[in-house]
Amino acid sequence: METTLLTKQQAEDLVIARLNSRCAAGEISIAQWSGWERAFGWVFVVSVTPTDSSAASSESDLPRWVIVNKHSQQVVASSVASDVEQFVRLYEKLLAQNQGLSQQWCGIPRMRSRWPLWRKPTVAERAKEGGFYEIGGKEGEHG
C-alpha cells in the first residue's frame, strides 16, 4: 500500500487547521521561510494575529515552531524553548532512532535485561523528555 506524500501547501493547511482548534481568538499564519524543507517534511514558524483582547492568552498556548512530517502527516511541536536548529536536530535524531529500531523488527530479538533500571529509554520517552508533543486533529488532542 503506497501512501501519498503531503505537498507544502497541504502541510501548511494542516498546521493551520489543527492549530485553529486550539486558538479560536486569533488568525494563525505561517511565515514563509526558504530552506526549511527537509527530507521528513517542513518546519514552520507560527504566529497569531489577535482578533480581540482574549487572543493574547491563546497566543501563549501556540507553539513557535511546528514540524510536519510529509510521510505520516504528523504535526509536532515542542514545549521546550529552543532555537529552530536545535528543534530540528532533535527531531531528526529521534526519527533516525525510530527508523533504526523499526528496521530491527525481523532480526534476532534483543535480550531482555533482568535489571530494568539499566534499560535505555524508548524513542517515545526521549521525545517526551525533549518536550515534543503531537498536535492532533481534534481539540485537546496532543500528547
Predicted confidence (pLDDT) per residue in 96-122, tens digit: 888 776 654 444 455 555 555 555 667
Number of domains in the chain: 1
Answer whether residue 10 shows pLDDT above 90. yes
- If you average pLDDT over residues 34-43, what whole number do you get? 83
Note whether residue 76 is domain-resident.
yes
Note whether residue 23 is domain-resident.
yes
How is 86-101 classified by DSSP, letter by letter?
Answer: HHHHHHHHHHHHHHHH
DSSP3 helix / strand / coil % (the chain, rounded to 5): 35, 20, 45
Give the domain extent around 123.
8-104+117-134
Note whether residue 40 is domain-resident.
yes
Alpha-carbon gap, residue 3 to 22, rounded angstroms: 28
Note whether residue 72 is domain-resident.
yes
Alpha-carbon gap, residue 99 to 56, rounded angstroms: 39
Ranges 47-51, 55-59, 131-135: which has the least confidence: 55-59
- What DSSP designation does 37 have? B
Note whether residue 143 is domain-resident.
no
Q: Model-level pTM?
A: 0.72
